[in-house]
Amino acid sequence: MDLQALLDDLAAEAAPFAAQGKVADYIPALAAVDPARFGIALATVDGQLFGSGDWRAPFSIQSVSKAFSLALVLAGDGETLWKRVGREPSGNPFNSLVQLEYEKGIPRNPFINAGALILIDRLLSQTGDSLGTLRAFLRAESGNPAVDLDPEVAASEAAHGHRNAALAHFMASCGNLENPVERVLDHYVRQCALTMSCADLAKAGLFLANHGLRADGSRLLTRSEAKRINAIMLTCGTYDAAGDFAYRVGLPGKSGVGGGILAVLPERGVLCAWSPALDLHGNSVAGVEALDRFTTRTGWSVF
Ligand code: GLU
């Protein structure tokens, strides 16, 4: 199969879909991004890299970061993590306060914002520096030592982060936060403000297609832990549209409001699509469409 030609076709077909979505504007710095941009990259487990469109352009990875922080936390905590956070789809918006109150401060899964705050809390307790640990990991796995955060995006989110602060304070009031709220929130907004390209993210995610083995051959996760992260990505990784994403794309995926989506092709590789215009659930319209077309044309899905 000519994978380069396929990605070029997907990039050429993206424009009408990008025009259907809307760029996230609740974090003002994200609203400035051109909605017409589109990139897609594929990194394979045998070391090949393909890409088309804006696949080398850095963008705000936002919640795509949560797949990586879950991997790092699970590697350290193992099954005890699940005392602090659940692993069921939420069926609610990613920043919902109501569900957290009903469920007594235990977030439904690690990918909604409350759950991601728990991951940061655990990584802070494990390492003393959640952001630094994650950034070093992403640099190593992507092979790009320049991976870093955009301070303007971090400041913009920090200034508008009342809802995440409410989630963190509520969990603290339930005894489900080990570190000070302000410290957890600071690491959270800086983590979400990391900027990476489709190429960087596809390479960084390869351990998920490779049963937990890192780029240098060392083991981050057991085979079974890598399976579990892919399962949580499939069921919870694309907001409350995870069912539709599974129906259309048929791969574990994690999206972010910056317009990025990481999708894992087990034992084959990792795809990353980016296009900033989002649907009502927060997933990139052109990104989901491109991934749908990719798995439809290749037949490469987990189903
Ligand atoms: N930093 C964003 C927030 O907390 C991340 C949202 C996302 O990408 O899902 O609202």
**pLDDT for res 94:** 83
Q: Which atom of ligand 1 is nearest to the CA of 239?
A: 9
Instruction: Please state, as a whole number, how many other Cβ atoms lie within 10 Å of the Cβ of residue 252.
Output: 30
**pLDDT for res 98:** 94
Pick the catalytic residue: 181, 188, 275, 301? Answer: 188
Q: How many Å lie between the centroid of ligand 1 and the Cα of residue 258?
A: 8
**pLDDT for res 91:** 83
Q: Token pair for residue 73?
A: 């936390």
Is residue 137 situated within a structural domain? yes
Find out whether 66 and 253 touch, Cβ atoms under 8 Å. no
CATH number at residue 206: 3.40.710.10
Active site residue 284: no
Is residue 103 situated within a structural domain? yes
Q: Where are the beta strands (DSSP E) in the chain?
A: 22-23, 39-44, 49-53, 59-60, 148-149, 194-196, 253-255, 260-265, 269-274, 277-278
Of the candidates 253, 298, 274, the one whose C-alpha atom is nearest the C-alpha of residue 38 is: 274
Q: What is the pLDDT of residues 73-112, one digit of tens each?
A: 999 999 999 999 999 998 888 888 999 999 999 999 999 9
Is residue 225 situated within a structural domain? yes
Binding-site residues, ligand 1, Cβ < 6 A: 62-63, 94-95, 113, 157, 164, 192, 256-257, 282
**Composition of the chain by helix, strand, coil, percent to 5:** 50, 15, 35
Is residue 45 situated within a structural domain? yes
Segments forming the whole domain that contains residue 289: 3-297
Point out the residues of the chain with pLDDT beneath 50.
Answer: none
Is residue 302 situated within a structural domain? no
Q: How many Å lie between the centroid of ligand 1 and the Cα of residue 29?
A: 13
Q: How many Å lie between the centroid of ligand 1 and the Cα of residue 75?
A: 23
Active site residue 22: no
Is residue 303 situated within a structural domain? no
pTM score of the predicted model: 0.97
Active site residue 130: no
Q: How many domains would you assign to the chain?
A: 1
Is residue 252 situated within a structural domain? yes
